[in-house]
Structures are given as C-alpha cells and as structure tokens.
Amino acid sequence: MPTYTAPTKDMQFVLHDVLNIAGSDIPGYADLEPDFTSAILEEAGKISAEVLQPLNAVGDTEGCALENGVVRTPQGFKDAFEQVKAGGWPGLDMPEEFGGQNMPYVLNTAVGEMFSAANQAFTMYQGLTHGAASAILAHGSDEQKQTYLPKMVSCDWTGTMNLTEPHCGTDLGLMRTKAEPQDDGSYKLTGQKIFISSGEHDMAENIIHLVLAKIPGGPEGIKGVSLFIVPKFLVKEDGSLGARNGVSCGKIEEKMGIHGNSTCVMNYDGATGYLLGQQHKGMRAMFTMMNEARLAVGMQGLAQAEVAFQNALDYAKDRLQGRDVTGVKNPDGPADPLIVHPDVRRNLMDQKSFTEGARAFTLWGAMLIDQAHRAGDKDADGLISLLTPVIKGFLTDQGYDMTVQAQQVYGGHGYIEEWGMSQFTRDARIAMIYEGANGVQALDLVGRKLAQDGGKHVMAFFDLVKSYIAETKGQDADFDRDFLDPLKAASKDLQAAGMYFMAEGMKNPNNALAGSYDFMHMFGHVCLGYMWARMGKAAREALDGGTGDPEFYATKLATGRYYMARQLPATALHLARIQSGAEPVMALEAANF
Amino acid sequence: MPTYTAPTKDMQFVLHDVLNIAGSDIPGYADLEPDFTSAILEEAGKISAEVLQPLNAVGDTEGCALENGVVRTPQGFKDAFEQVKAGGWPGLDMPEEFGGQNMPYVLNTAVGEMFSAANQAFTMYQGLTHGAASAILAHGSDEQKQTYLPKMVSCDWTGTMNLTEPHCGTDLGLMRTKAEPQDDGSYKLTGQKIFISSGEHDMAENIIHLVLAKIPGGPEGIKGVSLFIVPKFLVKEDGSLGARNGVSCGKIEEKMGIHGNSTCVMNYDGATGYLLGQQHKGMRAMFTMMNEARLAVGMQGLAQAEVAFQNALDYAKDRLQGRDVTGVKNPDGPADPLIVHPDVRRNLMDQKSFTEGARAFTLWGAMLIDQAHRAGDKDADGLISLLTPVIKGFLTDQGYDMTVQAQQVYGGHGYIEEWGMSQFTRDARIAMIYEGANGVQALDLVGRKLAQDGGKHVMAFFDLVKSYIAETKGQDADFDRDFLDPLKAASKDLQAAGMYFMAEGMKNPNNALAGSYDFMHMFGHVCLGYMWARMGKAAREALDGGTGDPEFYATKLATGRYYMARQLPATALHLARIQSGAEPVMALEAANF
C-alpha cells in the first residue's frame, strides 16, 4: 500500500531560503519565522500521513453511497473529519472574529498540498467549504456572515458551489435554474445542478449551498445570473437548525476517481435561498475567489504527483530487476534495483524536478495572493490573475502526466488497484477538468489575461525574469550556463509567442486562440524555469555560505540542472506550434472531420 | 453511451492508395483486390460495431468473477465469442491445414484494430490464443500441432502466455517456476505466474497455457528457461479431453481497466507440461512471434485512440457551448457547437492526425511482417524488428494521451463512468505496460536494434525516407513545403540523435540509454511523418487524377499538413534532450533523490 511523507523540509526551503517570507512586509508575514512555520507544517504533515493517507484507499474502494436521500461517506471519514476540525485546520487562514486563525494564505497552501496529497477526495469537503465561506466573507451581509461563517470556519457546516447544469458547464449563460423573489425578501429556487462536489454527506450538521440561478425578468445570458445561499436546513434566528429546505441529492455519480467525495446531482424544488451580493452580479461574486480556488486545484496536480513520486521512488529503490550496464551495483542480490537504469532515472527526475518546481510556483503564487489581499497591492493582484490559469492548467496537466509516469515505474503492478498507483492517476485526472477545464484556462490566459490593463502584467512578468537574470548573472559561470542561459532562451520564446499573438491575432483572433494551449504550457515552463533559477541560486548561496545540509542543496542544484536541460527546451516546440498559426487547426469543415 | 464505426474507408485508402497491396508480389497479396478487402473489412466492422462494442461497457462494469476456481466472464461475452468463432475470425491468417483462411497478416491487423477498438478486453481472449497458436506453429512437433492447433485456430480452445512471476517481470532470468522431467518425456511444473491474461474463463472447453519454466540443473538465469505447453485439461490420444491438470487460477486481479478480461494468478502444482521447442531455448521460442505481438499491442493504442476520438468528435459537434469568436455559427441555437472553438479543434486534430498516421504505420508494419514471413525477405525482417519497439512504445504512449484528450472534450462528463470516456483511457493504459513496458521497448530499440547487423536496418530506414523525398520532390511546391521539408528536417534530427549515441555512447553507454525514451518517440514521429508524406502524396495524386471522393482526399491533405506543422517539430525537442546526455539524468546518488 502507498505511503506519504510530508515534504516539510522542501517547503521550509521554499518559504524561507527562496521566498524569505519572514522578511516580507506583507501584513502577517513577520510572524512566519522558520521555527513557527516548521511547527505548523510538521503538525499538518503528521495528520496527513497518519490520519488522512490511510483513508485514501478506503475512500477509493468503498466510495460514497446514496440511501434514502442520505449520502454515506466511507468508513473512517467522519472520525478523520472530526480530527481535522479539532486541529483547527479548516480555519487556518480565516478571520479570528469567525473562529479562524488569520494565518496567511501561503501557509494554508502548504498545508493544503499535504492534505490533498494524502487524500484528495476527503480534503475536498473542507476545500469546498473554504471556497463557499470565502464568498460569503467577501459578499455577505453582516447578518449572513454572523449566521454562516462561524459554523463554516469550523466545518461544523460544510459548503458547496453549484454552477453546472446538465446542458451547461463552461457556458453558464445557458443556465435554467430559477430564483423567484418572495415577499419576505428571500427567493424560491427551482432547477437541477450537477457535478456538485460534497453536495450531500453525513459529516456535517448542515450544508450551505451557494447556487447560481436566474431571477425571472432579469437580463439574458450570463448577465442575468445571481448567487444565492441555500442551506440544507434553514437556520433559525437563534442560530439553531430549523426545517429541512427543498433541496435534495437526486443521485451520486460513478466517477473515474475521487470516489471518497460525493459528486451529487442536486435538485432544487422551490428551495428557500438568500441573495448573496447583488442581483445579477452572481458570476462576479462566485469568481471573486477564483484565483485562490484555481491555485488550489493547480496544487492538487502537484499533490498527486508528489505522493505518486514518493511511492514510485520507493519502488524503484526496492524492486530488483536487471543489472546496471555500467557495472553491477548490488552484487549480493539477484539483480540491481530499478533505480540504476537510466530510463527509470529519467522518469524519476522528470517527477522530482516537476514537483519541486511546482511547489515553489504555487507557494510563490500564494504569496502574491497575500500581497494582493493583505497589502492591497494591485500589481500583485494583476500578476497573480495572469498566472492563475497557468498554475491551474499547467500544473494539473503535468501533475497528471507525472502520476502516469509514476505508475509506469511499477510495471504491471502499477495497473493493479491493490498497489494504489492507479488511484493517483484516476484522482489526478479530475483536476484537469473542474474549476474550469484546462482549455478554458488557456482561453482565459490568451483571450483575457494577456491583454488585461494594456498588457501591463505580462510585461511585469517579463521584467521580473529579466531583472532577476541581470542581477544574478556573472557571479558563477556554471550557474549562468546551466540556469540563466536556458531561462533567458525560454523567456525569449515566450515573448516571441506573445508578439505573434499581437501581430497575427489582430488579423484573425483564431491565430491566437489556436495557440492558446501551447502558450499556457510554455508559460508554465518559463515559470518553473524561473522558480528553478531562484531555487538554484538559493541553494548555491547556502552551499557557499556553508549553512544547512550540503547534500540537500547539492541535490537541489542537480535537480534544477535537469529541469533546465530536459524540460525547459519544450518552449521551442510550443513556439513552433504557435507560429504555425490557425490555418492547420481550422482547415477542415466540421462535416469533414 | 459511446458508439463505434469501423473506419473501413480509411483502411481501404491505406491498403490500396498508399500501400498498393494488390500490386505487391508478396505471396498471397495478389488476391487482396479492393473489392475483396472491402468485403472482409465491412463484415468485420459490422460484428465490431454491433456485437463487440455494445459489450464493452458491460465488460467494464461487470468485470470477471472467480467462484470456486471458475472465472465467470461478463454477461454476453460467451455468445459474442461464439459469433466471432462462427465468422472464422480467429483463424483469418492461420494455415488452412489447421482450419484457418491463410490470409496475410496485414488483413488480420486491420480487423484486429476494429475488434480492439470495439472491445479490447474481449478481443484479448482471442489475441492471446493467436499468440500461443503461433508459437506452437513455429516450434511445435507435428504431433503438438495436430493436437492443439485445429482447436486453437477455431478458438474452441484458447491460449495464454505465462511469463511474469511476482518478483520478476522484465528480468525473467530470476524466474523460479520449475519443470521437472518425467520418465514419459513430459514435465511436472511447479510455481506461480501472475498477470496471466485470459488465464481462466468460461468461454472455451480447454485452455492451453504456454509457460516459461526452468528445468533443474540447467544454465543459470535467462539461458536456462524453457517453454512448455500446459493444458488445463489433458488431451487424450483421440483428441478428447481427459483429466484436469494441476493448474488453477488462485485469484483474479482488480485492475484499472480491461475488466472484461480475466487477469489471473496461475498456480502450477506439479502440472503436466510438454516441452515446446528445445530445452533452455524458451525465451527464443516465446519471442519468435514478438514482432507480431508487439505490433498488435501498438495497434491497441491506436484502436482506443480511434474509438475515443470518434466519440469526442460526435460530442464536439452536438454539445452547444459558447460562441465562435469570429462569428456566430449556429444562430438558431442557444450556443454554437464545441467544434467551432479553436482549442477544441486543436485537440480533435491532434487525435485525427495521430490515428490516421498510426493506422498507416501499423498496416505498413504488418506488410513488412508479411514480406519477411511470406516472401522470406531478410531485409524486411530486419526493418520490422527495428520498427517494432517504436510501434509498440510510441503508439501506446500517444494512443493513451489521445484517449485523455478525447475525455477532455467531454468536460465533467468525461469523468463520469456512465459516459464511457473514462473506460477508454483506463483500458488504453495497460498497453503501455504489457508485452514489455515502454521503457523496455526504448532499451530494446537503442540498446539492441539500432546496432543490429552493423546498423544496417536503421541505415535502410533513413535511405527509404531519403529516396522517397528525392523521388517526390519538385512536383508540387506546396507539397514540398508542407510535407517533404518537415519530414527531411525531422529525419535529420533523428540521424543526429543516432550520431550522438554512436559518438557518446562509446564513451559511456548511459549517454545513449538516458536518451532512449526520447529516441523512441522521435523515431515514432519520423515514421508518422513518413506515413503522412506517403498518404499526402496518394491523396494529391487522387485529387489530380480526379478519382474517388475529392472531399476525402482534401481532408486527408489538410490533416497531414496539421501533423507536419504541429506534431513533427517535436523531434527537435527530443534531440535537445538526448544531446544533454546522461549527466543531468544520472547526477544524483539514489539516496539523495
């Protein structure tokens, strides 16, 4: 059975050696000294490895069951949920006034990686609640906040997000769910929502559904969508639970993975709902928290890749098969371990260089979010808005591929459910789809974010990379050759793609859109290259300074060199594809496919 | 629910317009006139679409069950198996003297693609039988052939291949199963084999296991392995079934996919076996049919990609979501179909250009096998031996990726089992693992096949591409630019990689092995590029000649242009990775990972 060890040492390296969080002037960051973050990460690592991970396979095998309208979660989930609640984890970054601990989001992200790696399906119950609570925090009236947030911050009540309907996922303007105004100021909601994660389950006293719906007579399409709070049990004035509301789970879906999370068809039959935020501004309210939500999904890609990698690595060290062609490594055994073989190493190094780069990328992204929210920095907000589709799309695509590679290390055993590697790929697959399918992320990046504020944020990104190279260059010739030169080349490829979009997209927008997916991946590689250059520099300085564990830093440098030599050159291929333009992509009539 | 339509028109195009099989002087090919092959393909397409495909989801949902030593296959499988047998499909390319139809392997391959696309798990029962029968045909005594082949050619008896043991998959020298000689010339086999596809089931009167085992006192390691025939029921002299043999199914595995095929742990408890071929030459005997077996698995990668693509395409045409940015395409509907969006097209064109290229590649490979076997052409044998790991490794990796892309077109519905897209990816996943995991294919290619016969066959491949370009160039400037120039560039990249291996692999073999996986993919792209150039030429000539369906040929040309512009440039990335050498891959000590 698979195991999980929280990568706390690597997280500490990123938070302190690379991002120097305690030295940042973002409000709340001064407290984040290494000893403090270490204590929190170790504690989160412990509950992840000891409580959540052992339930991962249970959740997969047992799944959820709908019986008489009630969803039964897998055995052990409820106990584990109580332990997570008792530890105060759901409220880590929530305001103290509602029972939270008001920690920065960057810490929440590190903890989230561990929880997701240990048990993605389980962690979603808490993750959706966090998203719903954040929306209420941002858009709710004082009364709504007082009514719902204390219970949601503690996860006594959980939350959901209801967007999709059978005939509309991405194109929410087609939505049919109706919200009819009542005399008392409430609404009656009627319609069906699908793919509602954690929509119904047995781990919370109440479930607070956030539901998008149209108020009759409002504007057509997406501009007529409003957001509503629809509790499973209505809440009385004294805060106690009242009548069951007209919302029910009609079905739970049989899915490829994340079996431990109940994915529900939710039926609203004149359910009582309360407007959250303004009428017809539902999309805006739902998407206020989009950067965090999408970063969290990108992090799931990293998380599944990490746990899959850890197990593939263990297997590659243990399994004896064949001999090293350059000389026997295990003369006392019948064969050498798999890890001696160059192609197995290639596979493992792909995984290792991805997960460590992705970890730095998500933590840097989370720090930008803190800078935007806690310090009110509009430039940081613009930059993270630009990077959000890259984090979501690139990390979930690559994270999935890495789980497939990890599975491959196991040979035939990778295909057998008992060994657990299949679950990592099946669970990781969803992250490429939900919270905006990755093609939609690419469209958001190229169609919206690139040109936002006159292209200011993408220029800022290029400046960041450029000045980093300029500041760092000339101190160490090997480092320049291995890290900075490849980064410069990749960044130039990305700029060339941007220029192509500007020049050719003017003539025909499809010239930009046909290259959007490649652009997203290319951008992701440049970001990971930038992260690796920063990590490499930190590792080199630590080695030069003689601080810390020299093997750790030397390994970090070697892993970075691998990424630079073998992954970053992908930017040239993406550029070539982009520059071939829309014609090859759009040449066929639909009927001739 | 998914559907399947056999791509008979495309197969006819490849067989006749491109490969001109009826004009070949390979024995048996003169009969393969278009009308004749069309009749066979249509018939095979019919049974695939109407009988096998509807059972695909049934097999996945129901799976196999082991009860009191007997494996129950999913409902409907036995009836379908009888229909396949009645149609004579299992013996299509088997000798007439054993009840077969003696058709060329190229036709068997086309039929195999359809059967696999329609129902891979089901088709494996027949496929394993074909492999086992082929081994008996090549190595069996006359008596063994007479005893087993008529029943196996008809699939009244099915066959299996028993290689893997719990502690050894790739490294079969570690094998522990023993075969002790008996006075009557037979052997008693004792040991355990795992991952035995079709190892036990209820669709045949008898199951003929081919089992690798060691005769005590023989040479150590792989040189001491022999091959045995171990029937489930012993066969009496008159051909009727006798006593149950000492072989039994101990367990069936829960797998990620191909649930309809029983993957068995087989226990041999002093089971009676008969030596097939020579003592200690078991590996050679088992692998005589390796090129066919591996080509058939490569074809499974294509097959799952094809059926997934067909369904993704239907969905992209039907599902209304969003509007074409260049102008509304479906003004009467609430939205435009998905297929208007450039990134959806990019996804679909990846799939289409892969499947059509892969089809040509497998059929060309099958033709080379016929040329080797039927015409005794040693050069063809050398060439197909070189190409076999490419067909197996590249087509199953890419085929899997295409099923993932097809699933993505469905958005959230792609993750729900009911819609069937998840099954295609779960079923396709195994083809990257079995019949030699793809890393082993890459090792075989670079470590063995490249240098075979002094590098003669890889030189022959390059000559083939070069002379094709030379012969074709100068007739049509657009064609030269769109097809021949990219092919030439890609082929040069592949040669440069080969040169790098020669020069640097001499110094350190890891310089070649660390690049083996990239080389396999690069080689695959050049082969598909070569196929697309040949298909493009055939299409252009047909258009110029005014024969056939002009839309079909124009579509073919446009699809080829897409492959050349957007897929073939991957060779440069693979070359860059290869030329970075072994250092980045091998830099870490195993303990520092």
- Distances in Å between the Cα of B348 and the Cα atoms of A224, A299, A588, B158 are 33, 28, 11, 38
> What CA–CA distance (Å, rounded) separates B116 from B132?
18
Q: Are A494 and A522 spatial neighbours (Cβ–Cβ below 8 Å)?
A: yes
Instruction: Write the residue in A347, A584, A593 that is nearest to B348 by C-beta.
Output: A593
Of 1.10.760.10, 3.40.50.2300, 3.40.50.620, 1.10.540.10, which CATH number belongs to A8-139?
1.10.540.10
Dig out the tokens for B438 from the structure. Answer: 């793809």
How much is the pLDDT for A288? Answer: 79
Query: Average pLDDT in the B525-552 region?
Result: 96
pLDDT, position A252: 97
Q: What does the pLDDT average to over A532-547?
A: 96
| Residue of B566, B577, B578, B579 for testing the chain A interface, max A β-carbons within 10 Å | B566
| Secondary structure letter of residue B200 according to DSSP | S
Residue A264 three-state SS = strand
Q: Which of A415, A425, A588 sits opposite B558 (nearest CB)?
A: A588
Compute the distance between CA of residue A309 and CA of residue A355 in angstroms, rounded to an integer. 8
Chain B CB contacts of A348 below 8 Å: 593
pLDDT at A506 over 90: no
Q: How large is the average pLDDT for residues B146-163? A: 97
Average pLDDT over residues B248-261: 98
Which of A262, A344, A401, A415 to mutate to probe the B interface, most B CBs <10 Å? A415
For domain A159-281, the question of CATH label 2.40.110.20 is answered with yes
Average the pLDDT over B337-360 and give the result.
98
What is the rounded average pLDDT of the residues B78-84?
Answer: 98
Contact B288, B138 (CB under 8 A): yes
Q: How far apart are CA B359 and CA B394, in angstroms?
A: 13
Query: pLDDT category, A289, cuts 50, 70, 90?
Result: confident
Total number of residues shown for chain A: 593
pLDDT band at residue B246 using 50, 70 and 90 as cut-offs: very high
* Torsion sign, CA atoms B225, B227, B232, B237: negative
For A337, which DSSP code?
B
Tell me if chain B has a CB within 8 Å of the CB of A426: yes
Q: How many CB atoms lie within 10 A of CB B54?
A: 17
Check if the beta carbon of residue B198 is closer than 8 Å to that of residue B158.
yes
CB contact under 8 A, B408 and A167: no
- CATH superfamily, region B20-138: Acyl-CoA dehydrogenase/oxidase, N-terminal domain (1.10.540.10)
The rounded distance, in Å, linking the Cα atoms of B168 and A534 is 42
Delimit the domains of chain B by residue range: 20-138, 142-281, 289-436, 452-582
pLDDT of B20: 98
Q: Is the pLDDT confidence value at B347 over 90?
A: yes
Residue B495 has pLDDT above 90, yes or no: yes
Task: Tell me the C-alpha distance between A240 and A496, whole Å.
Answer: 60
Cβ-based contacts of B400 with chain A (< 8 Å): 404
Radius of gyration of chain B (CA): 24
Q: What is the pLDDT of residues B368-408, one digit of tens each?
A: 999 999 999 999 999 999 999 999 999 999 999 999 999 99
Using an 8 Å CB-CB cutoff, list chain B residues near A334: 174
Beta-sheet strands, E only, within A283-426: none
Is B338 within 8 Å of B321 (Cβ atoms)? yes
**How high does pLDDT run on average in chain B?**
97
Fold of B289-436: Butyryl-CoA Dehydrogenase, subunit A; domain 3 (1.20.140)
Predicted confidence (pLDDT) at residue B132 exceeds the cutoff of 90: yes
The pLDDT score that the predictor gives to residue B448 is 95
Checking if the pLDDT of B494 tops 90, the result is yes
pLDDT attached to residue B487: 98
Q: Which of A169, A352, A516 sits opposite B411 (nearest CB)?
A: A169
A475-492 pLDDT, tens digit per residue, is 999 999 999 999 999 999
Q: What is the pLDDT of residue B547?
A: 85
Asked if the Cβ–Cβ distance from A573 to B577 is below 8 Å, we say no
**Residue from A60, A508, A588 to probe the interface with B (highest B Cβ count within 10 Å):** A588
Write the CATH number of the domain with boundaries B142-281. 2.40.110.20
pLDDT of residue A417: 98
Burial class of residue A447 (count of CB atoms within 10 Å of its CB; 0-12, 13-18, 19+): middle
A12 Cβ under 8 Å from any chain B Cβ: no
Which chain B residues in 290-349 lie under 8 Å from chain A, judged by CB atoms?
313, 317, 320-322, 325-326, 334-335, 337, 339-349
The angle at the Cα of A193, spanning A191 to A199, to the nearest 5 degrees, equals 125
Residues of B within 8 A of A214 (CB-CB) are none
Q: Is A555 on the interface with B (CB under 8 A)?
A: yes
Active site amino acids of A: 435
Count of residues for chain B?
593
- Spell out which residues of chain A touch residue B340, defining contact as CB-CB under 8 Å: 590
Q: What is the pLDDT of residue A290?
A: 85
Q: What distances in angstroms separate CA B1 from CA B344, B361, B419, B423, B588, one per listed residue?
A: 21, 30, 6, 11, 49
Q: Is B228 on the interface with A (CB under 8 A)?
A: no
Chain B nearest-CA distance from A585, in A, is 6
Contacts of A262 in chain B (CB under 8 A): none
CA–CA separation, B375 vs B371, rounded Å? 5
pLDDT per position as a tens digit, A166-215: 999 888 889 999 999 999 999 999 999 999 999 999 999 999 999 999 99
Residue A181's region, left for phi above 0, alpha for psi from -120 to 50, else beta, is: beta
Q: Which residues pair with B178 in a beta bridge?
A: B190, B214
The pLDDT value recorded for residue B184 is 97
What is the average pLDDT across B296-317?
98
The ipTM (two decimal places) reads 0.97
**Angle at which helices A378-409 and A456-472 pack, to 10 degrees?**
70
Test B561 with A587 for CB contact under 8 angstroms: yes
What pLDDT is attached to residue B170? Answer: 87
Indicate if the pLDDT at residue B493 is higher than 90. Answer: yes
CB contact under 8 A, A585 and B313: no
Residue B423's DSSP bridge partners are none
pLDDT at B289: 81
Does the distance separating the beta carbons of A566 and B510 come in below 8 Å? no
Q: How far is CA A262 from CA A81, A160, A304, A513, B412, in A?
A: 15, 11, 19, 35, 14
**Whether the predicted pLDDT of A493 surpasses 90:** yes
Average pLDDT over residues B335-361: 98
Tell me the average pLDDT across B70-82. 97
Q: Chain B closest CA to A429's CA: distance in Å?
A: 8
Residue from B415, B446, B482 to probe the interface with A (highest A Cβ count within 10 Å): B415
**Residue B554 and residue A194: Cβ atoms within 8 Å?**
no
Q: Residue A287 pLDDT > 90, yes or no?
A: no
Q: HEC states along B134-151?
A: HHHHHHCCHHHHHHHHHH
Question: Which of B341, B344, B412 lies closest to A164 in CB terms?
Answer: B412
Which chain B residue's Cα is nearest to A427?
Answer: B415
Is pLDDT above 90 for B247?
yes
Chain B residues within an 8 Å CB radius of A349: 584-585, 588
B411 touches chain A (CB under 8 A): yes
pLDDT computed for residue B586 by the predictor? 97
Candidates B168, B268, B180; CA nearest to B226 is B180
Chain A residues closer than 8 Å to B416 by CB: 253-256
Taking the Cβ of residue A572 and every Cβ of chain B, the question of whether any pair is shorter than 8 Å is answered with yes
Look at residue A235 in the predicted model and tell me its pLDDT. Answer: 98
Average pLDDT of the segment spanning A346-364: 98
B489 and A CB contact within 8 Å: no
Residue A522, pLDDT above cutoff 90 = yes
What pLDDT shows up at residue B108? 97
Residue type, A265: V
Percent of chain A with pLDDT over 70: 100
